[in-house]
Amino acid sequence: MRLPIILDTDPGIDDAAAIAAALFAPELDLQLMTTVAGNVSVEKTTRNALQLLHFWEANVPLAQGAAKPLVRPLRDAAYVHGQSGMEGYDFMEHQRQPLEKPAFIAIRDALMHSPEPVTLVAIGPLTNIALLLSQYPECQFNIRRLVIMGGSAGRGNFTPNAEFNIAIDPEAAAQVFQSGLEIVMCGLDVTNQAVLTPDYLATLPTLNKTGKMLHSLFSHYRSGSMQSGLRMHDLCAIAWLVRPELFTLKPCFVAVETQGTYTAGTTVVDIEGRLGQPANVQVALGLDVDGFRAWVAEMFRLAP
């Protein structure tokens, strides 16, 4: 049986690679995709998501989500992904449209109608997930777990201490981390290791149409470089779902700082249990990098 998942995303170039894996990993059944403001505006992340679904001729519904964080103004990552959010490839025109309903309602409806628990995967800011849990707490019964790309037990990549997805909407992340949901956190501790090598990247243009398209996007992606290797942050969340043995998890108490002038968005990961609080998150601290690279190559070969 394939694992039913819902993917919340802010494409985003590394999101595009994760969406490929979510569509073509034989273990997964991508039932719904939703967009959120993050890397770029939600209008752009939605346009990008629809272009990817059209590119891969995927029969997956898409719902547009939050245009801004719960209480803070949106800050984006166009400096990493380009102004469009997916710079580097001219996608074909298409007629696809998002669903009429907003993302958090679309997720709620999918959960309430699913005959089995669904895994939520969030690879952007957690605004839609927080809205879902606060507006429709009754749907939690049918959420198997939440797997996120976000956070860090160490340094940040948007502020000195905060990783981008958490830093953009710390209030949403704090709500989600306190919700009681089973959460797996793939933070920078593993995603900074999830690097595709220059030699492998050079093989993509002649692999297939997916390789050619992703190589064009990767040439404009600024989390690393084509010369030093590129960090596949969001692919880690999908990798954990289908190859959990590649990861080392540790149950930890994790709090999200929302008040600090310099520290808002920090995930305070209590690895040593110094705060005496019960663990609320399974934190990924180790990655089999060679195994991850082999899996990514397998995923991109399975794509058209």
As annotated, the active-site residues are 233
* C-alpha triplet 105, 163, 18: angle, nearest 5°: 60
Closest listed residue to residue 267, CA positions, set 158, 148, 174: 174
Which of residues 149 and 285 has its CB atom nearest to ligand RIB in the complex? 149
Per partner kind, with CB cut-offs from 5 to 8 A, the member of Ca ion, ligand RIB, none near residue 163 is: ligand RIB
Does residue 152 interact with ligand RIB by CB under 6 A?
no
Residues between 172 and 201 that touch Ca ion (CB under 5 A): none
Residues between 233 and 252 that touch Ca ion (CB under 5 A): 234
Angle of the 289-302 helix axis to the 209-218 helix axis, nearest 10: 130
Does residue 19 interact with ligand RIB by CB under 6 A?
no
Which of residues 84 and 157 has its CB atom nearest to ligand RIB in the complex? 157
Does residue 234 interact with ligand RIB by CB under 6 A?
yes
Q: Which of 20, 49, 111, 123 binds Ca ion (CB under 5 A)?
A: 123
Q: Which of 21, 53, 66, 77 binds ligand RIB (CB under 6 A)?
A: 77
Does residue 12 interact with Ca ion by CB under 5 A?
yes
Please count the CA atoms within 13 angstroms of the CA of 100 that sit on its side-chain side: 0
Which of residues 10 and 257 has its CB atom nearest to Ca ion in the complex? 10
**In terms of residues, how long is the chain?**
304
What are the φ/ψ torsions at residue 19 (nearest 5 degrees)? -65, -40
Q: Which of 69, 124, 187, 211 binds Ca ion (CB under 5 A)?
A: 124
Number of residues forming the site for ligand RIB (CB under 6 A)? 16
